[in-house]
Amino acid sequence: MIKVENVSKEFRLSKEQRKEHPTNDKYTLAVNNLSFSCNPGEVFSLLGPNGAGKTTTLRMLSTILQPSSGKIEICGVDAVKYPREARRKIGFLTGSTGLYARLSANEVIDYFASLYNVPNNVLKERKAYLYDLLNMNEFASKKIGKMSTGMKQKVSICRTMIHDPEVLILDEPTSGLDVITAEGIIQLIRDYKSQNKTVLFSSHIMGEVDLLSDRLAIIHNGTLKHQGTMAEFRADMEGQSLTGAFINIVQS
Amino acid sequence: MIFKIFRKELKETIRDRKTLLIMVAIPLLIFPILINVVVNVSSSFSESAGEKVLKIGIIGDTNDILIQQLNSIPASFGPKDFIAYNGDSLKLFKDQKEETIDLALWYDSGFQDILDGLGTANILWSVDETNIGYSERIKGYMNILEAEERLKRYDALGIDEQKLQPYKITYQNTASDQQMLGELAGGILPYIFIAFGFLGCMYPAIDLFSGEKERGTIETLLTTPVKRWKILIGKMLVVVLSGLMASCCALIGLFVSIEFLDLIPDPNLTAVVSKILTIPIIIKLFALLLPLTVFFAGIMIPISVYTKSFKEAQSIITPLNIVVVLPAMLGLFPGIELNYITACVPILNIVLTTKSLIAGNIDYILLSLSFIVMIAVAAVAVFVSFRQFGKESNIVN
């Protein structure tokens, strides 16, 4: 499970950044006092327009960034105090994460499995399961640099899941993918949920959010604007489309 | 865990053609190509210069005694052709200016009478010194003529030549060939290694940090439960290995050029160089290069970590090459020797220590001091790298 309590993140602005966004402030608040939780067996969507603070939040959850204040708990582990322990339980994928172009899919997967100390017999099973699920067998030996966007995204997802994490954090996992590949990933998220694992994902595709989410949170300018179940969100839509309701909340 | 990271980074690095070119191909081929070009160009130049028929314009006539004497010098001292101007000095000036003749020879009109009267005859050679080899050739001619004339005068005056030579002076060089080579060329070897070591480190240092940041792969790596310092060390080892590999390839290239390709025409020089390139000297050289390469990696990595793209890192690290090479060049100057002060100057100490190692007159206390200084600066550089790599503002774009 993921527990976020009063988390804030401040960034120091460089001189250039202060010039770019005319301000005299030395710091900018990217995330402001954010709290939410995501339970096992649940898919939680984090929504927000560009620059809302989603990526910063996800980076804090994955322990790449440290919060300026607040508490993050991953499966009972204090992720701020014990980031390495928390990382063992997380599978993290963001749109900005890349893969090693000069390695093959197999080499990338083996490398990351070794970094998580996945035993060889478990690795074999996990690879067989994920390769089948993601239709990766055909291009497993192909160099990443020669792969299509869809193939790369599959490898990224496989890399994220190879150590069978208890918590899956996905930032726009279907972005730029064809419908068939996207459908495979949606199926994978469902499978994960059915295994009583925690899935947190962000997306711009409202159809996906509607299809997968049990609960959702909407953030704007680093602040939480809405949190609740998908059923509650639908009930409050008052005849609007999902996108319309989302825009209403952001602009309110 | 460090080894796992090292192995993967090395695999990726050696699959990069650009890095492989800088790390292996160029250092390996540079010496055979360079020596081959220098030897062939200089030998073909000296051959063609020696065979060239010099067109010499003379102010007098070809029957003049001086010209006859010059004509009697064998062609093996360099072929020549005389063009008589019979006192037309203006035309002689003009032709030399227009380069229709190579040299102009001026001499007194009563040349023979002056010699017969045991006087001093004036001879003036007009030479364009930018034509390499002309001056040497005419000095050779004149030495022969002067020696002949001097002997004639000794005979005429009844003087024993030996009696005009009060001293027989011999200057004996107490330095061995190895010492001479160490002093004159010993600085070049470490200079080359420093340059290649730097170059060898550069591309992997940029690729494994800035490059990873640019491609978004560093973020993936940082979400794994591996300690950051282990990631840093694993990557740093690849950078250091690449630098050493480039230096090693340069050494192999040099060794092959000398031993197998027979590119150095002077057998004595080849023998001395072979004597220098021994296993113990090479081991000591690499022992010195190791902390130096770690130091290089240590100054490049913080820059690479700080910058946001491959291009930005390259634009900062490339000029740094000059800063590194400058103290290395100081070591090439004669008179700058290894002492307690120079042993404390990073890079310069490596050049001077290597010079002494090659010359065979190394002071082991100074060698140890140089080594300790390099270890210390390398440790500081690694610490700075660690601090920079730990900053979240540096690792996430």
pLDDT digits (tens, 9 = 90+) for A17-73: 777 777 777 788 888 888 888 888 888 988 888 888 888 888 898 888 889 889 998
B4/A114 touch (CB, cutoff 8 Å), yes or no:
yes
B4/A99 touch (CB, cutoff 8 Å), yes or no:
no
pTM above 0.95, yes or no: no
A101/B225 touch (CB, cutoff 8 Å), yes or no:
no
Strands of the sheet containing B54-58, edge to edge, are B80-84, B54-58, B103-107, B123-126
Contacts of B5 in chain A (CB under 8 A): 115
pLDDT at residue B101 tops 70: yes
Cβ-nearest to B16 among A96, A102, A159: A102
B219/A84 touch (CB, cutoff 8 Å), yes or no:
no
The count of C-alpha atoms lying within 13 angstroms of the C-alpha of A92, restricted to the half-sphere facing its C-beta, is: 29
Measured between CB atoms, does B227 come within 8 Å of chain A?
yes
**Which of A53, A220, A195 is closest to A133 using CA atoms?**
A195
A64/B226 touch (CB, cutoff 8 Å), yes or no:
no
Contacts of A11 in chain B (CB under 8 A): 393
Q: Which two tokens stand for residue A53?
A: 């603070």
Q: Which two tokens stand for residue B235?
A: 């990557």
Cβ-nearest to A62 among B12, B223, B397: B223
What DSSP line would sit under B305-326, residue for residue? HHSSSHHHHHHHHHHHHHHHHH
Note the pLDDT tens digit of each residue in A191-201.
888 888 899 98
The alpha-carbon gap from A61 to the nearest alpha carbon of chain B, in Å, equals 10
Longest dimension (CA), chain B: 102
Place of tokens 């009563």: B110
Contacts of A159 in chain B (CB under 8 A): 220
**Which of B129, B121, B124 is closest to B93 using CA atoms?**
B124
Note the pLDDT tens digit of each residue in A121-166.
999 998 998 888 888 888 889 998 888 888 888 888 889 889 989 8
Note the pLDDT tens digit of each residue in B16-48.
888 788 778 887 887 778 777 877 787 777 777
Note the pLDDT tens digit of each residue in B342-361.
888 888 888 888 888 777 77
The pLDDT mean for chain A works out to: 85
Give this complex's ipTM. 0.83
Interface of A with B (CB under 8 A): 11-12, 59, 62-66, 84-85, 87-88, 90, 92, 94, 96-103, 107, 111-112, 114-116, 159
Query: How far apart are the C-alpha atoms of A52 and B337, rounded to whole Å?
Result: 63
Place of tokens 């492989």: B20
Query: How far apart are the C-alpha atoms of A96 and B219, rounded to whole Å?
Result: 8
The residues, any chain, with a CB within 8 Å of residue A40's CB and separated by 6 or more, are: A1, A166, A196, A197, A198
To 5 degrees, how large is the angle CA B309–CA B313–CA B314? Answer: 115
Query: How far apart are the C-alpha atoms of A141 and A144, rounded to whole Å?
Result: 9
Query: How far apart are the C-alpha atoms of B389 and B228, rounded to whole Å?
Result: 8
Query: How far apart are the C-alpha atoms of B124 and A42, rounded to whole Å?
Result: 104
Strand partners, B81: B55
The amino acid that residue A140 corresponds to is A
The alpha-carbon gap from B223 to the nearest alpha carbon of chain A, in Å, equals 6
Measured between CB atoms, does B336 come within 8 Å of chain A?
no
The amino acid that residue B245 corresponds to is M
Note the pLDDT tens digit of each residue in B241-250.
988 888 888 8
